[in-house]
Amino acid sequence: MNSTELITGIGELTTQVESTSPRERLHDAALVVGDGRILWIGPAARAPAADHRTDVDGRAVLPGWVDTHTHLVFGGDRSAEFEARMAGQAYAAGGINTTVAATRAATEDQLVATAQRLRHEAEGQGTTFLETRTGYGLDVASEARSARAAASVADVVTFLGAHIVPAGMGRRTYLDLVTGPMLQAVLPYVQFIDAFCERGAFDVEETREVLLAGRAAGLGLRVHGNQLGFSGGVRLAAELGALSVDHCNYLEPADIDALAAGATVVTLLPACDLSTRQPFPPARRLLDAGVTIALATNCNPGTSYTTSMPYCVATAVLQMGLTVGEAVWAATRGAARSLGRDRGTDAIGSLFVGGRADLQVLNAPSISHLAYRVGVPLTGAVWRQGVRVAPMP
């Protein structure tokens, strides 16, 4: 075994080992990590000896964030589009074409460097597990290059060839490309498939075709659904048993009923909702109906250029009606569930003996400060698989 580290003096320890809210928080706690795993959890007064000792002096410790919806592989900048939107211009999916052109023009080294910079930025704010997507190449060579770049940076990768139909291509021709040669080109690098089921992108039957092709190739299903209107993407995701349906700003009672009857996780993207000035999803109604929710950044250059999971947690509390405990759970254990990674020894988003040592220390005595002191950088230290990636100040 490599060296062990005792993290002690924990004022509040949130483990997320419970399966339902509210989560139990331990006090005056400690834990020991070694070989990338948690070896012991318990009262600080009974902590075993270890090779190294870190005293966090009453600070809060919780699992690292699990960010399950990002678009880190891109070229260019869309700040002008953002400024126009803030001046009153409505968001439309077609702005993606701007990033497609810039991504195709970038080198693979440039794409990797951008994604690595953003991953490092996320880790500094407590993110220890990160998904990212393709979707800005939209031809076979560019999507394969994007998937390869993504796999070199992210923990898991989603194929989003069905983001929009690129300029100059017919819909049928492009769908055949996405479900055929493009899918085969990205398969070595991806674990999931997604489609943007929305006006200006793909309708329900086109989305179904893409998802079923991905499932036949062995990929898990994720869906962009009901961001800009009642697109049908949510009910399709529930019907097909997708792991996650993301956005969900517009929901009818039947959508919520369909979600509650299944296991599809709703991934909410509050930073994107603020940037696009869309109404927030009905998070409270979803939870009350028994639907599992997750929180993610949707980091992308057009509609949510942030890597800050703490910002998303605070927004979910202050604007969407979640408690602090519910928001933190959604950004850790709930997010893990949306990847099928909330159970077993390789689970993420929770702290338990034998599990991955993915954790963070807040410069605060409680997780409540994530919303109570909104906008203040509270991340004090981060361990990813037992390795400290962000130090104590």
pLDDT at residue number 21:
47
pLDDT digits (tens, 9 = 90+) for 74-105: 999 999 888 888 888 887 656 888 999 999 99
For residue range 195-232, what is the model confidence (pLDDT) as tens digits? 999 999 999 999 999 999 999 999 999 999 999 999 99
Going by C-alpha positions, the residue among 313, 241, 387 that lies closest to residue 67 is: 313
User: Which residue shows structure tokens 């959890």?
Assistant: 41
**Domains of the chain (ranges plus CATH)?**
4-64+349-390 (2.30.40.10), 66-337 (3.20.20.140)
First CA to last CA across the chain, in angstroms? 28
Q: What is the pLDDT of residue 294?
A: 98
Cβ 223 vs Cβ 210: under 8 Å: no
What string of DSSP letters covers 288-318?
HTT--EEE---BBTTTB----HHHHHHHHHH
CA–CA gap between residue 218 and residue 221 (Å, rounded): 10
Looking at residue 88, its pLDDT comes to: 86
Other CB atoms within a 10 A radius of the CB of residue 170 amount to 9
Mean pLDDT of 290-296: 98
Mean pLDDT of 179-195: 98
Residue 74 CB-half CA count within 13 A: 22
Report residue 325's pLDDT band, with 50, 70 and 90 as the boundaries.
very high
81, 136, 144, 153, 185 from 111: Cα distances, Å:
21, 11, 12, 10, 18
Chain centroid to CA 286: 18
**Rounded to whole angstroms, how far apart are CA atoms 337 and 281?**
19
Enumerate the β-bridge partners of residue 221. 193
Q: How does residue 391 score in pLDDT terms, banded at 50, 70 and 90?
A: confident
Instruction: Tell me the pairing of strands 127-133 and 156-162.
Output: parallel
Phi, psi (deg, nearest 5) at residue 66 = -115, 105
User: Could you tell me the pLDDT band of residue 390, with boundaries at 50, 70 and 90?
Assistant: confident
> 245 with 264: CB under 8 angstroms?
yes
Q: pLDDT tier at 23 (50, 70, 90 boundaries)?
A: low
Among residues 153, 124, 123, 306, the alpha carbon closest in space to that of 134 is found at: 153
Which pairing describes strands 4-14 and 52-55: parallel, antiparallel, or unpaired?
Answer: parallel
Beta strands in the chain (DSSP E): 4-14, 25-34, 37-43, 52-55, 60-63, 65-67, 127-133, 156-162, 192-197, 220-225, 244-247, 265-268, 293-295, 359-362, 379-384, 387-390
Say whether pLDDT at 19 is over 70: no
Per-residue pLDDT of 335-389, as tens digits, reads 999 999 999 989 999 999 999 999 999 999 999 999 999 999 999 999 999 999 9
* Residue with tokens 């939107």, as numbered in its chain: 85
Q: Which of 90, 2, 6, 113 is nearest to 52 (CA)?
A: 6
Neighbours of 320 (CB within 10 A): 22
What are the Cα distances from residue 120, in Å, to 73, 128, 210, 302?
Answer: 14, 10, 32, 20
Q: What is the pLDDT of residue 273?
A: 97
Pairwise CA distance, residues 190 & 158, whole Å: 6
CA–CA distances in Å: residue 300 to residues 4, 114, 133: 38, 11, 10
pLDDT of residue 20: 42
Looking at residue 93, what is its pLDDT? Answer: 58
pTM of the shown model: 0.96
Percent over 70 (pLDDT), the chain? 97
User: Could you give the percent of the chain with pLDDT greater than 90?
Assistant: 90
Closest CA to 224 of 255, 193, 183: 193
Q: Tell which residue, 319, 208, 340, has the closest CA to residue 265.
A: 340
Q: What is the pLDDT of residue 2?
A: 84
Looking at every residue in the chain, the average pLDDT score rounds to 95
* Helix (H) or strand (E) run with residue 205 in it: helix 204-216
Give the tokens for residue 331: 């950004």
Note the pLDDT tens digit of each residue in 298-322: 999 999 999 999 999 999 999 999 9
